[in-house]
């Protein structure tokens, strides 16, 4: 089954691109993956396109033929059977066709759903690094607990290294999406969601907040800069050496409604991510989703359960 799909999807990807683009592939971020997650999602998209077209094209042809052949005209040779209304054989056929197609698609989907579950770590020789992502009205704050630096409206990450994004939101629900690297996940107040992504090619990729959060939501785009490990380390050193620290007062300002320039900081207040995440949860209370992780230790623990 698999190789057939591969072939079909390869063929279809070519036709799809020819139809859709007529120009360069690069603009189609979803179809031009730069990492294993986006790549698997693209495969899946092409498989579904293949299954769907396999049914749709015959339906189009049948429609055209029937409409043409049975149109009312003088001396029509087409048969006319006004009371022909049932045929068990035919009806079983077209209950059967979609049922089989859906069973195939369901098997593929369920399989991929578990494989691409965003909280599942990506297989790699390298240890994953953690980047904490906070959506605020209307800017993105990225904090790098292992490096101790912070950025606004861009994220810096090394190539070929799995990144464990921890996602939360200060207020309204947003969605963290870097199409070239993989699908999106909601950022929600009161919980830390986990999204694993990996970039296998260096470059600057477009990212956006995909869920509407009010007035200047369109300004919540960001860049994901993927560089070599050396360049990433140099960048960290540079930020630490030249930039100011993100202070508690800065964080208070960030929470105010408004847009923000691209920025970077040499350090950030301890636990700023968890403080924002837990800000509405009163002591002793479990919070909105008790089963979602609440501290970084819990995060580690739950991480291990997935393996």
Partner 1 sequence: MFETIKEFASEFFVTGDPMILGAQVSIALAMVAIVFVLTYFKKWRWLWSEWLTSVDHKKIGIMYIICSILMLFRGGVDALLMRVQLAAPELEFLHADHYNQIFTTHGVIMILFMAMPLMFGLFNIIVPLQIGARDVAFPFLNSFSFWMFFAGAMLFNLSFVIGGSPDAGWLAYPPLSELTGSPGVGQDFYIWGIQISGVGSLASGINFVVTILKMRAPGMKLMKMPMFSWSVLASSVTIMFAFPILTVTLFLLFLDRYVGAHFFTVDAGGNPMMYLNLIWMWGHPEVYIVVLPAFGIFSEVVATFSKKKIFGYKSMVFALMSISFFSFFTWAHHFFTMGSGANVNAFFAVTTMIIAIPTGVKVFNWLFTMYRGKLSFPTPMMWAVAFIPCFVVGGMTGVMLSVAPADFQFHNSYFLIAHFHQVLIGGVVFGYFAGLYYWWPKMFGFKLHEGLGKWAFWFWNIGFYVCFMPQYALGLMGMTRRFNEYNFDMGWQPLNVVSTIGAFLMGIAFIFQVWQIAHSIRFMKKENTGDNWGQGRTLEWSIPSPAPFYNFARTPKVVAQDDWWEKQQRRERGEADPAEVIAADNAPLEPIHMPKNSGIPIIMSGFWFIAGFGFVWDWTWMVVLGLVGVAVSMLARSFNYNDDYYVQVDEIERIEAAAARGAN
Binding mask 234-263 for partner 1 (x = CB under 8 A): ------------------------------
Q: Does 121 bind partner 1 (CB under 8 A)?
A: no
Binding mask 63-92 for partner 1 (x = CB under 8 A): x--xx--xxx---x-xxxxxxxxx---xx-
Binding span for partner 1 by CB under 8 A among 27-35, 121-129, 142-150, 233-241: 27-35
- Joined tokens for residue 103: 């069973």
When the beta carbons of 157 and 195 are compared against partner 1, the nearer one is 195
Distance CA 175, CA 205 (A): 16
Q: Does 223 bind partner 1 (CB under 8 A)?
A: no
Q: Which contacts qualify for 274-282: CB closer than 8 Å, 24 or more apart?
A: 274/192, 276/134, 276/168, 276/170, 276/251, 277/134, 277/168, 277/189, 277/190, 277/191, 277/192, 278/190, 279/170, 280/189, 280/190, 281/190
When the beta carbons of 143 and 208 are compared against partner 1, the nearer one is 208
When the beta carbons of 3 and 74 are compared against partner 1, the nearer one is 74
| Count of residues making up the chain | 307
The distance of closest approach from Cβ of residue 72 to partner 1 in the complex, given in angstroms and rounded to an integer, is 5
Query: CA distances (Å), 295 to each of 87, 158, 255, 301, 305, in order?
Result: 63, 25, 21, 10, 16
CB burial readout 83-101, b (16+ within 10 A) else e: eeeeeeeeeeeeeeeeeee
The distance of closest approach from Cβ of residue 75 to partner 1 in the complex, given in angstroms and rounded to an integer, is 13
Binding span for partner 1 by CB under 8 A among 43-51, 142-150, 226-234, 296-304: 43-51
When the beta carbons of 145 and 179 are compared against partner 1, the nearer one is 179
Query: What are the phi and psi torsion angles at 180 (to 5°)?
Result: -70, -25
Q: Does 216 bind partner 1 (CB under 8 A)?
A: yes
The distance of closest approach from Cβ of residue 118 to partner 1 in the complex, given in angstroms and rounded to an integer, is 6
The distance of closest approach from Cβ of residue 77 to partner 1 in the complex, given in angstroms and rounded to an integer, is 12
Bridge partners, 45 (sequence order): none
Bridge partners, 175 (sequence order): 186
Q: Does 27 bind partner 1 (CB under 8 A)?
A: yes
When the beta carbons of 234 and 288 are compared against partner 1, the nearer one is 288
Q: Does 197 bind partner 1 (CB under 8 A)?
A: no
Distance CA 307, CA 302 (A): 9
When the beta carbons of 15 and 76 are compared against partner 1, the nearer one is 76
Binding residue for partner 1, selected from 40, 122, 129, 263, defined by CB under 8 A? 40
Binding residue for partner 1, selected from 48, 267, 271, 296, defined by CB under 8 A? 48
Within 13 A of 93's CA, how many CA atoms are on the CB side? 6
Q: Does 173 bind partner 1 (CB under 8 A)?
A: yes
Distance CA 280, CA 274 (A): 11
Q: Is the separation of the CB atoms in 164 and 142 below 8 Å?
A: no
Q: Does 61 bind partner 1 (CB under 8 A)?
A: no
Binding mask 132-161 for partner 1 (x = CB under 8 A): ------------------------------
Query: CA distances (Å), 303 to each of 38, 57, 162, 283, 296, in order?
Result: 22, 45, 14, 25, 10
């Amino acid at each position: 089954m698999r190789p057939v799909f591969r072939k079909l999807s390869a063929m279809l990807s070519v036709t799809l691109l020819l139809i859709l683009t007529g120009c360069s592939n690069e603009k189609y971020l979803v179809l031009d993956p730069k990492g294993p997650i986006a790549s698997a999602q693209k495969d899946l998209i092409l498989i579904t396109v293949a299954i769907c077209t396999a049914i749709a094209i015959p339906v189009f042809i049948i429609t055209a033929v029937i409409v043409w052949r049975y149109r009312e005209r003088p001396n029509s040779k087409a048969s006319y059977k006004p009371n022909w209304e049932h045929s068990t054989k035919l009806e079983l056929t077209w209950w059967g066709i979609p049922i089989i197609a859906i069973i195939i698609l369901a098997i593929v989907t369920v399989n991929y759903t578990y494989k691409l579950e965003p909280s599942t770590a990506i297989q790699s020789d390298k240890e994953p690094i953690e980047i904490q992502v906070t959506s605020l009205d209307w800017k993105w704050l990225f904090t790098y607990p292992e490096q101790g630096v912070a950025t606004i409206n861009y994220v810096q990450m090394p190539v070929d290294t799995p990144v464990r994004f921890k996602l939360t939101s200060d207020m309204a629900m947003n969605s963290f999406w870097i199409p070239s690297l993989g699908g999106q996940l909601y950022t929600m107040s009161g919980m830390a969601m986990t999204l694993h992504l990996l970039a296998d090619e260096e470059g600057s990729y477009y990212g956006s907040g995909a869920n509407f959060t009010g007035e200047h939501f369109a300004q919540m785009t960001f860049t994901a800069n993927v560089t070599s490990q050396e360049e990433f380390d140099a960048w960290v050193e540079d930020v630490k050496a030249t930039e100011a620290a993100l202070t508690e007062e800065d964080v208070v300002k960030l929470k105010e409604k408004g847009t923000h320039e691209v920025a970077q900081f040499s350090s950030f207040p301890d636990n700023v991510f968890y403080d924002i995440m837990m800000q509405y949860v009163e002591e002793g209370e479990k919070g909105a989703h008790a089963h979602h992780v609440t501290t970084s230790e819990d995060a580690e623990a739950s991480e291990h359960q997935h393996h």
